[in-house]
C-alpha cells in the first residue's frame, strides 16, 4: 500500500503520557507555586549556609535571645545561635529525613504491595493482615519508643520513620496491582508466555508508578511533620544537630516571654514546606488522572 | 399543529481547558406526537450531546451556542435552571444507556419510580407508589407489586432497563429521549425492550427521539431517521427512503459496512477509510470529505448545505449518491498461505480438540474461611474441534461461557475437567518452560482495545514483546518483523514511537491483531474483536482479519455476541447457551436451517438494517431472561425460555445429534428432523450425566 495513505488512518500525534501530565501539572497555578516553594527551600537550606555563615555548634551566652536586628536578621535563640542559620540547618535535616524516609517507605511499600497483590490467596492475606496490625498500633508511640532507644542521627531517624510509613503505599500499590492484574494487557502478556517477574517489572510496577509518585509527596510532608512532632516532644535529633521540631519545642517556653522570632519563622517554614508538598501531590494526582482520561 | 419537540439551528459547544469542541452544529429536527425519530451516528458524532442539550444537562464547560429548542410551545434555550427542572422528567424525559449506573443503588425501585411523580405532581407517597405500580406494569415488569420494594442490584439488566423506562414515563412526558436504550443489553433482551418502547409510543402517543449507533435498531421502529456525522446532520429522510434511496455517501457506506447474516462472506465489507476528524478543529468544507471517495476540491473547501429535492428527504452533499451499494468488492488476499495443502496433510487429526471442558467458578461466603457455597457454571461440558486454517465462531449471549471457553483454549484459564489439546498436547497440564514454549502456538486478541495494550509501552515495545519473551530472533530481526506486521495491519511506520493512547480504537485493535500475529500462532482466539468499535471502523477491522486469516493460514476462534460478525469471519459456528454448546454447523446451516429453537430465536432477534424486514417481525423472539448460571435449569438449559419445551426437556438433557454434514444440535424437539432417527434417542449414547453431553466431533 502507498506509504502516504495507510489503511488504518494516520496516527494523530499527541504528546506522550508523561508530557501530557506535565502540561496539566504546569497549568495548575497552586502546584507550580508549591514546586517553586520546595525548590526555594532546598536552595535556602543547602546553598544558604554557604553564603550566610553562622555559628551553629558553640553556644554563646552573651547573645542569647536577641531580637531581630543587625547581624541577626531573625534574632538568636536561648543558646545564642543565629535563628536564620538555625532554620537553614533544621531545614536541611527536615528535607533530608523527609526525602530519605519517604524513599524507604516507598520502596518497601511498593514491593510489599505488588507482591501481595500479584500473589493473592494466603500470601496476600498474611501480608495484608500484617499491615492491618501495624496500622492499628499508634504509630507515634512506636516511633517515640524507638527514637529513645537509638541514637538519633539523620539516618536513624529516617529509617525509623520510613520503616513505619510504608503501610499506606503498600495498601495503595496492592489495590492498584489487584485492578491491573485483571486488565487485558496483563492477560495478553501471560498468553505470550511472560514470566511473573516480567509481569511485575514490565507491566505492573510501571503502571502503578503514578500512584506511588503521588504518594511520595505526601510521604515527604508526613515525614517532616513526624520529625517535627518528635522534636517538639524532645525525642528529636541529638544536639547540636538542629531540627524544626526541636526549635519549636525549645521555643515553647519562651512564647509567653514575647520571643516571637523563635516561634513564627520556623513554624511558618514548617507549614509552608508541608503545604507545598501537599499541593504538589494533589496536582500530580490530577495530572495523572488527566493522562488516563485522555487515553 | 406544532411539533412536540422542535429543534432549530442548534449549536452546542464544550469548552475544554485549551480548546472548544463543536459538538453539535446547526442541527434542525422536529418530532410530532406519536412519532419516533431515529438519530443515528457513530460515537463522538454529537448525538448524545444533542440529547443532553435538549434537557439542559450538558457536562461542565458545555453550553448551547445558538439556536432554539421548543417543547410544545415552550422555548427551552435560555430557561433558568429552576424552570428547566420543572420540565425535565415531566414534559421531557430521558432514558439513559447504562441502567447500572443510572439507578441509585441505595433506593428501592418503588422510591425511584415514584420520585418524579412526587416532585412534579406533588403527589403523596401513597399516590406516587400507586402510579409507580401502574407504570411498572405498563413497561411489562413481571410481578410489579413485588418489585416496588426491591433494589436495583436484585434485578437483571433487562429489568433494570424497564425500571429506567418506567421512571421516564412516570409523569406522562410528551417527549421521550432514549439515548442508546439497548446498547448494553443482549440481543434477546434488546428485542424485548425495543418492543416495549414501540408499544408504549403507540399507547401513550408521545414523541420519541431514539438515539443509537445501530442502524438495525432504528430500521423498524422509526418513521424518520437523521444521520449525524461530526456534529452535523448529513441526511434526513423517511426511514424507508433512507435505507433504499439514500443520497449521502456516508449513509451509503455506513449501511454497506454492516455485516449482514444473509450476505456472502467471500465479499469484503464496504469500509470507510480513516478515522473521524477531531471536533475541536473540524475541516472547513464537508466534514466527511477526508474519508469520502467522491470528494473534490469543492467538498474540501465549502460545506454543503442540508438541501434536497423535497422537504422530506434532505442531505448535505455536493456529489450525492443514488441508493445503496449493489456490488461489493472481493476480499483481496495478497499471498494466501498453503492452507489447502496443510489441511490435507493433517489427515484426520484435528489441530485443536476440546473434549468435555468444564469450568466452574466457586461462589464463596465468609471473609476469612471462604467456604465454597455454590459455583457459577461458566462452561459445562463443551466439546469442539478446530482444523488447520479453519475459523470457528462462537456465539451466544453474555454469560453463556464463550469467553471462558476461549480463555481455556489459550491457557489463561484451566478447565476443571475435560481435555483441551493442541496437536495432541494438553496445554493446561504443562508448566514452566514447556508451557511457555507451547504458548507460541496460541494467541489471543482481546475485546477492549483500550485495556489490552499496556499504556506505558510504546507500540514498538508492545509488538516486540512476544518475540522478546519467546526469545525469538535478534534485535534487528525482531525490528524487521515488527515493521512488516505493522505494515500488514495498515498502520504507518511512525506509529512505532507512539503510545497506545494516541491511537483510535480501530487502530489499537489493529495493533492488538499485529501483536497476536507476531508469533505466527497456529490458533488465534479473538474475543469480541470488533464489539468495542464503531460501525465504520468495525468493517475495516473485519476485512483486515479476514484477509490476514487467509494470508497467514492460521486457525482461529472468533467469539462474539453478534451472529453476523461471527458468520462473516467463520467457516463453522458454535452456538452456546448457558455454558452448553447447543448447535454447531456451517454459517449457512446455522442461518438457513437452524435446528435449535435458541439459534432460531437468536437469528430472529437480531435487529436488521432493513425496515421492511424489521416491521415484518411479529414476535419478539425469546421471552424472559437468562437463568442464573449458579443454578442452571435441569435437563435442557434453554427450556425455561423455549416455546417448544415439554416435560421431557426438564427431565432429560438433550445430546448433540447430527442434522447434516458438520451440523449438530442438542434438542429433543428440533426444528427439523435429525439424521438417522426421529430423535427419541441419541444414536449411540444413552442419556447419562450432564458431562457426557456435547460429545460431538467427526
pLDDT at A17: 61
pLDDT at B370: 66
Cβ-proximal residues to B474 (8 Å cutoff; 6+ apart), any chain: none
Do residues B108 and B155 lie in contact, with contact meaning Cβ atoms separated by under 8 Å? no
Is B362's Cβ below 8 Å from some Cβ in A? no
pLDDT at A8: 64
Alpha helices (H) in chain A, listed in sequence order? 17-26, 29-46, 48-51, 83-119, 121-136, 139-149, 154-165, 167-180, 184-192, 196-198, 205-232, 244-252, 264-293
pLDDT at B210: 92
pLDDT at B573: 93
pLDDT surpasses 50 at A4: no
The verdict on whether omega for the bond into residue B538 sits within 30 degrees of 0, i.e. cis, is no
pLDDT surpasses 60 at A292: no
Nearest Cβ partner for B452 among A16, A17, A185: A185
Question: Measured in whole angstroms, how far is the alpha carbon of residue A248 from the centre of its chain?
Answer: 21
Q: Which of B278, B310, B226, B287 is nearest to B7 (CA)?
A: B226
With an 8 Å Cβ cutoff, the interface of chain A facing chain B consists of 1, 3, 5-14, 16-17, 27, 125, 183-185, 187-195, 198, 202-203, 206-207, 209, 291-292, 294-295
Cα gap B23→B50, rounded to integer Å = 8
Q: Which helix (H) or strand (E) holds B356?
A: strand B352-365
pLDDT at B551: 83
What are the residue ranges in chain B where pLDDT is below 50? 339-341, 344, 678-698
Kindly determine whether residue B465 and residue A192, on different chains, have CB atoms separated by under 8 Å: yes
Kindly determine whether residue A184 and residue B540, on different chains, have CB atoms separated by under 8 Å: no
Q: Which of B225, B95, B215 is nearest to B163 (CA)?
A: B95
pLDDT at B101: 81
Band (A201; pLDDT cuts 50, 70, 90): confident
Q: How many residues does chain B have?
A: 698
Is B434's Cβ below 8 Å from some Cβ in A? no
pLDDT surpasses 60 at A290: no
Q: What angle do CA A109, A111, A116 make, to 5 degrees?
A: 95
Is B501's Cβ below 8 Å from some Cβ in A? yes
The predicted-structure confidence for A72-90, as pLDDT tens digits, reads as follows 777 777 777 777 888 888 8
Distances (CA, A) of B166 to B38, B94, B113, B413: 21, 11, 6, 41
pLDDT at B693: 39
* SS3 annotation, B444-483: EECCCCCCCCCCCCCHHHHHHHHHHHCCCCCHHHHHHHHH
C-alpha count within 13 angstroms, C-beta hemisphere, residue B597: 20
Nearest Cβ partner for A184 among B435, B448, B490: B448
The predicted-structure confidence for A212-255, as pLDDT tens digits, reads as follows 888 888 888 888 888 888 777 777 676 677 778 777 777 777 77
Residue scoring higher pLDDT (B410 or A151): B410
> CB contacts < 8 Å between A and B, how many?
125
pLDDT at A151: 64
C-alpha cell at B353: 480438540
- Quote the ipTM score: 0.75
Give the gap in angstroms from C-alpha A27 to the nearest C-alpha of chain B: 9
Do residues B656 and B595 lie in contact, with contact meaning Cβ atoms separated by under 8 Å? no
pLDDT at B530: 85
pLDDT at B410: 87
Amino acid at each position: 500500500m502507498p506509504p502516504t495513505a495507510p489503511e488504518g488512518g494516520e496516527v494523530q500525534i499527541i504528546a506522550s503520557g508523561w508530557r501530557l501530565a506535565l502540561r496539566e501539572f504546569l497549568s495548575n497555578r497552586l502546584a507550580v507555586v508549591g514546586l517553586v516553594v520546595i525548590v526555594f527551600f532546598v536552595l535556602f537550606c543547602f546553598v544558604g549556609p554557604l553564603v550566610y555563615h553562622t555559628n551553629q555548634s558553640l553556644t554563646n551566652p552573651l547573645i542569647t535571645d536577641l531580637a531581630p536586628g543587625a547581624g541577626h536578621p531573625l534574632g538568636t535563640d536561648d543558646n545564642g545561635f543565629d535563628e536564620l542559620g538555625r532554620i537553614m540547618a533544621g531545614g536541611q535535616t527536615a528535607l533530608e529525613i523527609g526525602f530519605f524516609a519517604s524513599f524507604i517507605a516507598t520502596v518497601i511499600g511498593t514491593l510489599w504491595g505488588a507482591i501481595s497483590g500479584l500473589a493473592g490467596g494466603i500470601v496476600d492475606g498474611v501480608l495484608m493482615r500484617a499491615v492491618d496490625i501495624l496500622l492499628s498500633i499508634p504509630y507515634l508511640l512506636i516511633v517515640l519508643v524507638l527514637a529513645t532507644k537509638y541514637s538519633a542521627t539523620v539516618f536513624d531517624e529516617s529509617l525509623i520513620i520510613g520503616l513505619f510509613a510504608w503501610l499506606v503505599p503498600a495498601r495503595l500499590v496492592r489495590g492498584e496491582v489487584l485492578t491491573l492484574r485483571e486488565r487485558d494487557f496483563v492477560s495478553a502478556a501471560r498468553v505470550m508466555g511472560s514470566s511473573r517477574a516480567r509481569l511485575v517489572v514490565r507491566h505492573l510496577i510501571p503502571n502503578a508508578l503514578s500512584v506511588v509518585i503521588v504518594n511520595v509527596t505526601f510521604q515527604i510532608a508526613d515525614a517532616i511533620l513526624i520529625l517535627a512532632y518528635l522534636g517538639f516532644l524532645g525525642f528529636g535529633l541529638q544536639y547540636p544537630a538542629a531540627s524544626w521540631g526541636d526549635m519549636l519545642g525549645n521555643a515553647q517556653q519562651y512564647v509567653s516571654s514575647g520571643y516571637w522570632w523563635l516561634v513564627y519563622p520556623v513554624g511558618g517554614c514548617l507549614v509552608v514546606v508541608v503545604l507545598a508538598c501537599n499541593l504538589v501531590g494533589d496536582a500530580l494526582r490530577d495530572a495523572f488522572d488527566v493522562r488516563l482520561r485522555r487515553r | 399543529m406544532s411539533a412536540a419537540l422542535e429543534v432549530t439551528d442548534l449549536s452546542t459547544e464544550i469548552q475544554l481547558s485549551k480548546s472548544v469542541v463543536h459538538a453539535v452544529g446547526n442541527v434542525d429536527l422536529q418530532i410530532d406526537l406519536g412519532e419516533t425519530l431515529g438519530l443515528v451516528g457513530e460515537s463522538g458524532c454529537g448525538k448524545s450531546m444533542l440529547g443532553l442539550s435538549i434537557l439542559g444537562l450538558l457536562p461542565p464547560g458545555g453550553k448551547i451556542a445558538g439556536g432554539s429548542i421548543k417543547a410544545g410551545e415552550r422555548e427551552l434555550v435560555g430557561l433558568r435552571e429552576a424552570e428547566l427542572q420543572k420540565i425535565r422528567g415531566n414534559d421531557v424525559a430521558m432514558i439513559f444507556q447504562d441502567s447500572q449506573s443510572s439507578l441509585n443503588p441505595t433506593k428501592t425501585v418503588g422510591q425511584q419510580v415514584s420520585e418524579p411523580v412526587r416532585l412534579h405532581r406533588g403527589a403523596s407517597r401513597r399516590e406516587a407508589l400507586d402510579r409507580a405500580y401502574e407504570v411498572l406494569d405498563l413497561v411489562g415488569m413481571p410481578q410489579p407489586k413485588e418489585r416496588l420494594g426491591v433494589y436495583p442490584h436484585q434485578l437483571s439488566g433487562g429489568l433494570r432497563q424497564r425500571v429506567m423506562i418506567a421512571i421516564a414515563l412516570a409523569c406522562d412526558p410528551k417527549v421521550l429521549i432514549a439515548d442508546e436504550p439497548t446498547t448494553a443489553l443482549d440481543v434477546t433482551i434488546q428485542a424485548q425492550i425495543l418492543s416495549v418502547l414501540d408499544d408504549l409510543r403507540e399507547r401513550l402517543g408521545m414523541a420519541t427521539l431514539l438515539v443509537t449507533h445501530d442502524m438495525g435498531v432504528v430500521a423498524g421502529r422509526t418513521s424518520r431517521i437523521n444521520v449525524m456525522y461530526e456534529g452535523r446532520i448529513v441526511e434526513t429522510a423517511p426511514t424507508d427512503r433512507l435505507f433504499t434511496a439514500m443520497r449521502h455517501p456516508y449513509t451509503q457506506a455506513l449501511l454497506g459496512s454492516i455485516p449482514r447474516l444473509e450476505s456472502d462472506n467471500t465479499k469484503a465489507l464496504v469500509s470507510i477509510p480513516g478515522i473521524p476528524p477531531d471536533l475541536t478543529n473540524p475541516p472547513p468544507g464537508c466534514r466527511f470529505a477526508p474519508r469520502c471517495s467522491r470528494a473534490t476540491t469543492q467538498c474540501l473547501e465549502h460545506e454543503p448545505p442540508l438541501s434536497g429535492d423535497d422537504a422530506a428527504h434532505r442531505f448535505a452533499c455536493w456529489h450525492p449518491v443514488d441508493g445503496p451499494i449493489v456490488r461489493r468488492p472481493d476480499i483481496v488476499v495478497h499471498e494466501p498461505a498453503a492452507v489447502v495443502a496443510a489441511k490435507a496433510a493433517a489427515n484426520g487429526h484435528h489441530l485443536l480438540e476440546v473434549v468435555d471442558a468444564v469450568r466452574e467458578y466457586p461462589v464463596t461466603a465468609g471473609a476469612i474461611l471462604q467456604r465454597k457455597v455454590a459455583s457459577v457454571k461458566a462452561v459445562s461440558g463443551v466439546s469442539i474441534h478446530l482444523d488447520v486454517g479453519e475459523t470457528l465462531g462462537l456465539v451466544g449471549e453474555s454469560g453463556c461461557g464463550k469467553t471462558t471457553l476461549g480463555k481455556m483454549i489459550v491457557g489463561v484459564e484451566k478447565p476443571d475437567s475435560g481435555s483441551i489439546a493442541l496437536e495432541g498436547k494438553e496445554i493446561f497440564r504443562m508448566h514452566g518452560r514447556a508451557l511457555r514454549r507451547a504458548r507460541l502456538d496460541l494467541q489471543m486478541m482481546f475485546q477492549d482495545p483500550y485495556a489490552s495494550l499496556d499504556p506505558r509501552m510504546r507500540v514498538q515495545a508492545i509488538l516486540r514483546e512476544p518475540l522478546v519473551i519467546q526469545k525469538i530472533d535478534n534485535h534487528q530481526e525482531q525490528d524487521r518483523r515488527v515493521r512488516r506486521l505493522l505494515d500488514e495491519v495498515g498502520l504507518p511506520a511512525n506509529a512505532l514511537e507512539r503510545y497506545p493512547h494516541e491511537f483510535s480504537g480501530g487502530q489499537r485493535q489493529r495493533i492488538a491483531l499485529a501483536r497476536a500475529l507476531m508469533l505466527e500462532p497456529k490458533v488465534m482466539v479473538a474475543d469480541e474483536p470488533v464489539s468495542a468499535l464503531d460501525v465504520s471502523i468495525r468493517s475495516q477491522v473485519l476485512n483486515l482479519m479476514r484477509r490476514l486469516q487467509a494470508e497467514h493460514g492460521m486457525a482461529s476462534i472468533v467469539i462474539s455476541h453478534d451472529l453476523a460478525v461471527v458468520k462473516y469471519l467463520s467457516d463453522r459456528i458454535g452456538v452456546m447457551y448457558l455454558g452448553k454448546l447447543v448447535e454447531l454447523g456451517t454459517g449457512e446451516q446455522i442461518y438457513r436451517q437452524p435446528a435449535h429453537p435458541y439459534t432460531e430465536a437468536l437469528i430472529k432477534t437480531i435487529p436488521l438494517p432493513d425496515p421492511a424486514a424489521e416491521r415484518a417481525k411479529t414476535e419478539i423472539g425469546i421471552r424472559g431472561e437468562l437463568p442464573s448460571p449458579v443454578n442452571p435449569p435441569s435437563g435442557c438449559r434453554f427450556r425455561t425460555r423455549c416455546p417448544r419445551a415439554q416435560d421431557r426437556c426438564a427431565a432429560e438433557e438433550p445430546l448433540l445429534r447430527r442434522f447434516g454434514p458438520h451440523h449438530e444440535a442438542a434438542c429433543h424437539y428440533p426444528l427439523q428432523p435429525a439424521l438417522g432417527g426421529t430423535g427419541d434417542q441419541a444414536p449411540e449414547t444413552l442419556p447419562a450425566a450432564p458431562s457426557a453431553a456435547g460429545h460431538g466431533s467427526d
